[in-house]
Structure 1
Amino acid sequence: MSENEQTAPSRRVVVVGAGMAGVQTAVALREQGFTGTISLIGAEPHQPYDRPPLSKAVLLGNAEHSAFDVDFDALSVDLQLGREVSGLRAGDHELDTPAGPVPYDVLVIATGAEPVTLPGAEGVPGVHLLRTLDDAERLRPVLAKRHRIVVVGAGWIGAEFATAAREAGCEVVVVEAADRPLPGALPAEVAAPMARWYAEAGAELLTGARVAAVEQGAVVLDGGRRLPADAVVVGIGARPATRWLAGSGIDLGPDGSVTADERLRTSLPDVYAVGDCASFPSGRYGRRLLVHHWDNALQGPRTVAAGIVGADTGEGSEPGEIYDPVPYFWSEQFGRFVQYAGHHGAADTLVRRGDPEDPAWSVLWLREGVLVAVLTVGRPRDLAQGRRLIEVGARIDTERAADPAVPLKTAVL
């Protein structure tokens, strides 16, 4: 009997969330031989689309959309768009929607993350978020008119939007409550040199600046400074989109994430979680990780699909594979290509490769001599080699690694 014939065709998989994680789950299920019914439910009315282009190509009008190149009909995927899911009744194996209940045999939660809003800014005219295609469409005419824009938050999305706004010729002020850009992502000694990127691009960066109020036409800071603003873009982070799971009995972490296990199974039977909404235990890093990045949403679905197909075929008591990736993300900002791989939280040694005042440089993080994370600016070869070395747990000669002329792969002890 072939692998395709072994899967149970009567089983119905319902995937909630039609972003990268949800779409790739449906694709991976078919690639791995699942022949049952697959329903993909998305809250937005648009064809499923990729999010990274929203902060650049779509925003600047260089692309009308970023729809995934996936033939859902050819995959026999029942695509249900513009449908909200309001609750989960695990005992009945049903989802609640305004149009009625949706039964499932296996459920995959892939609802992603939602932006954190700025208190007091909701409903103020001219205040924007940048998370969805509709958000980008609302911001396109703002950039086209070269408005004065205040960006709240100097994280990844704030920097990327500020880059696009400056390219469009807008006057840009970025307000950050911390003393440096990227405060939640990188330590001070690494992120602080990035502050000059804003000035070089013609954007003003105000650090240590807290927003006291947002009014139509202005942002008011603590201390009374008033920043004129034709538009305000809020980029102060995101949280797992899991509030619809309240009362379902599913285990959620203090960060709101679905606490999946090493195979991305949740605390409820027949329910998986993947992508920005799910945290998972990392054996590699010895802690639970919540990764809000594109690569996680691309890789995790393969583990989910393997678990579902493995359960159908009865292959062992623990079907599927363990999910323990080296996290990876990238950002294009102010003419620079920034990449990061790994997790530096428990590192005890920092090694610089090059001067952060130069156009290209890298930073390595080690724990007890083992490479655990790498950040590169304009040095893609360092990233590619570093990521592989992290995967195998390589020990690094710090003296050789500190020389940017030495290939990183040759600095292994």
Structure 2
Amino acid sequence: MSEQRSGNGTARDQRHVVIVGAGMAGVQTAVALREQGFAGAVTLLGAEPHRPYDRPPLSKAVLLGKADGSAFDVDFEALGVTLELGREVTGVRTGDHELDTAAGPVGYDVLVVATGAEPVRLPGTGSDPAVHVLRTLDDAARLRPVLAGQHDVVVVGAGWIGAEFATAAREAGCRVTVVEAAGRPLAEALPAEIAAPMAAWYADAGAELRTHARVRAVEPGAVVLEDGTRLPAGAVVVGIGARPATGWLTGSGIELGAHREVLADAHLRTSRPDVYAVGDCSSFPSGRYQERLLVHHWDNALQGPRTIAANIIGETPAVYDPVPYFWSEQFGRFVQYAGHHRAADTTVWRGDPAGAAWSVCWLRAGALVGVLAVGRPRDLAQGRKLIETGAALDADRLADPARPLKSALL
């Protein structure tokens, strides 16, 4: 490798890359660096004591006791990656290229911020053992006996994680009530006309969905709503969103956005030299959608690290501009989404939303910008490729669910 020097004077092939956060984004950054030929030192710091693990199974197999964990199948030793677990980073002094931890400072030449997001909690319930969130392996372990005991469960929030937990709780035989402050499930994620049909899924699964319902208080054995309704609750699970885990960056000079996320550029670099950010903790400008995106989904944490590795190693900056993708398994349905629908000017339905399989396509100036598929994985796969190409489509042909989505190409 060349002996070109980085901004702090260290030879490129001798640099020490430190990655803070041992979730998907952090692990994949370490893997991508080695796959792309980086020969310098790589250290991965994780705040949790557990071997790095994947999060999606937590709300499914791990929660239901069908698996003990979901550790990544990565041989860190063979990769030459130093893995330090149970080492929480409390601050960073970017001018000194040093991280602060309880066990002492850690120096770096290049820093990758991959600390993900942390769940939003109900005010005043932080120490209540009956109130749970589901983000970590320890969270899932605490919730296992709740499901095994078939307790009455109140889920606060009808977003993606709330629906997935309600699904698992019903499968375990719990009586489940989901309370949602908005008038429909997935109110923050999907337009009203798209999310409204999904409300029926709860009743079909034997769960009760209460919309326009706000929590006033959590009491022993009950949740009290603002209208005075008391709901029996052996346990309460809160799924009202997540915020970037960036509190440790206070005073670092690393610029944060309105949601306290790291503001990365198109190359996933931050406002400070030699510092990158990836995954749930950061946003990036999308040339495809002409706006800054904050994507809290697994695929973003998988794809972004490849761009970061390329930019750490290479001479020519690589641009990160993906088609966002995520999926959710809820109430016996496989829901997939690709793209970004907010700038669309046309909505096209494919199939009956009362049925088992249907999809929705969003167009802007005749080109596909987003697709939601329920039980139609082929629509999602074809739609994702069409979004990438930006090709013009015929809306009338697109609306025929019997035709492949790609047949709508003009």
Q: TM-score range by the shorter chain?
A: over 0.9
TM-superposed CA distance for 1:153, in Å, is 0.2
Q: CA RMSD in A?
A: 1.1
Specify which of 231, 235, 242 is matched with residue 238 of structure 1.
242
What is the identity, as a one-letter code, of the residue corresponding to 2:14?
Answer: S
d(CA) in 2 for partners of 1:346, 1:118: 32
CA displacement, residues 266-286 of structure 1 (integer Å, 9 cap, x when unaligned)? 000000000000100000000
Check whether the contact 1:124–1:215 (CA below 8 A) recurs between aligned residues. Answer: no
Specify which of 207, 210, 229 is matched with residue 233 of structure 2.
229
Partner residue of 2:293?
A: 289
Check whether the contact 1:87–1:244 (CA below 8 A) recurs between aligned residues. Answer: yes
Check whether the contact 1:41–1:83 (CA below 8 A) recurs between aligned residues. Answer: yes
TM-superposed CA distance for 1:23, in Å, is 0.1
Residue 155 (1) aligns with residue 159 (2): yes
What is the identity, as a one-letter code, of the residue corresponding to 1:233?
Answer: V
Unaligned runs of 5+ in 2: 4-10
Check whether the contact 2:116–2:245 (CA below 8 A) recurs between aligned residues. Answer: yes
TM-superposed CA distance for 1:52, in Å, is 0.1
Residue 74 (1) aligns with residue 78 (2): yes
TM-superposed CA distance for 1:9, in Å, is 3.4
Partner residue of 2:62?
A: 58
Partner residue of 2:275?
A: 271
Partner residue of 2:344?
A: 347
Task: Mark the CA change 1:259 to 1:2 in structure 2 (over 3 Å): closer, same or farther.
Answer: closer
d(CA) in 1 for partners of 2:364, 2:12: 46
Instruction: Give the SS at the match of 1:86.
Output: strand
Check whether the contact 2:243–2:259 (CA below 8 A) recurs between aligned residues. Answer: yes
Check whether the contact 1:304–1:320 (CA below 8 A) recurs between aligned residues. Answer: no
Partner residue of 1:380?
A: 377
d(CA) in 1 for partners of 2:289, 2:119: 27
Residues 103-252 of structure 1 mapped to structure 2, 5 A cutoff: 103-252=107-256
Partner residue of 2:7?
A: none
d(CA) in 2 for partners of 1:341, 1:215: 40
Partner residue of 1:395?
A: 392
Partner residue of 2:302?
A: 298
Task: Mark the CA change 1:306 to 1:352 in structure 2 (over 3 Å): closer, same or farther.
Answer: same
Instruction: Give the SS at the match of 1:389.
Output: helix
What is the identity, as a one-letter code, of the residue corresponding to 2:371?
Answer: V
Check whether the contact 1:151–1:162 (CA below 8 A) recurs between aligned residues. Answer: yes
d(CA) in 1 for partners of 2:252, 2:33: 26
d(CA) in 2 for partners of 1:303, 1:125: 41
Specify which of 40, 43, 47 is matched with residue 47 of structure 2.
43
Check whether the contact 2:2–2:12 (CA below 8 A) recurs between aligned residues. Answer: no
Partner residue of 1:280?
A: 284
Instruction: Give the SS at the match of 2:252.
Output: coil
What is the identity, as a one-letter code, of the residue corresponding to 1:217?
Answer: G
d(CA) in 1 for partners of 2:290, 2:307: 19
Check whether the contact 2:25–2:304 (CA below 8 A) recurs between aligned residues. Answer: yes
Check whether the contact 1:124–1:216 (CA below 8 A) recurs between aligned residues. Answer: no
Instruction: Give the SS at the match of 2:95.
Output: helix
Check whether the contact 2:2–2:13 (CA below 8 A) recurs between aligned residues. Answer: no
TM-superposed CA distance for 1:204, in Å, is 0.2
Specify which of 322, 339, 360 is matched with residue 319 of structure 2.
322
Partner residue of 1:18?
A: 22
What is the identity, as a one-letter code, of the residue corresponding to 1:117?
Answer: R
TM-superposed CA distance for 1:171, in Å, is 0.3
CA displacement, residues 120-151 of structure 1 (integer Å, 9 cap, x when unaligned)? 22212310000000000000011000000000
Instruction: Give the SS at the match of 2:14.
Output: coil
d(CA) in 1 for partners of 2:269, 2:342: 25
Instruction: Give the SS at the match of 1:298.
Output: helix
Structure 1's consecutive aligned runs of 4 or more residues displaced over 3 angstroms after TM superposition are none
TM-superposed CA distance for 1:253, in Å, is 0.3
d(CA) in 2 for partners of 1:189, 1:394: 26
Q: How many residues align?
A: 403
What is the identity, as a one-letter code, of the residue corresponding to 2:221?
Answer: G
d(CA) in 1 for partners of 2:54, 2:227: 40
Check whether the contact 1:282–1:324 (CA below 8 A) recurs between aligned residues. Answer: yes
TM-superposed CA distance for 1:320, in Å, is 3.0
d(CA) in 1 for partners of 2:343, 2:217: 37
Instruction: Give the SS at the match of 1:30.
Output: helix
What is the identity, as a one-letter code, of the residue corresponding to 2:22?
Answer: A
What is the identity, as a one-letter code, of the residue corresponding to 2:37?
Answer: G
Q: Percent identity?
A: 76
d(CA) in 1 for partners of 2:365, 2:39: 47
Specify which of 371, 382, 405 is matched with residue 402 of structure 2.
405
TM-superposed CA distance for 1:175, in Å, is 0.3
Instruction: Give the SS at the match of 1:53.
Output: helix
What is the identity, as a one-letter code, of the residue corresponding to 2:99?
Answer: L
TM-superposed CA distance for 1:355, in Å, is 0.5
Check whether the contact 1:8–1:35 (CA below 8 A) recurs between aligned residues. Answer: no
Check whether the contact 2:131–2:236 (CA below 8 A) recurs between aligned residues. Answer: yes
d(CA) in 2 for partners of 1:70, 1:198: 38
Check whether the contact 1:343–1:373 (CA below 8 A) recurs between aligned residues. Answer: yes
d(CA) in 2 for partners of 1:145, 1:369: 52
Specify which of 353, 356, 371 is matched with residue 356 of structure 1.
353
Instruction: Give the SS at the match of 2:83.
Output: strand
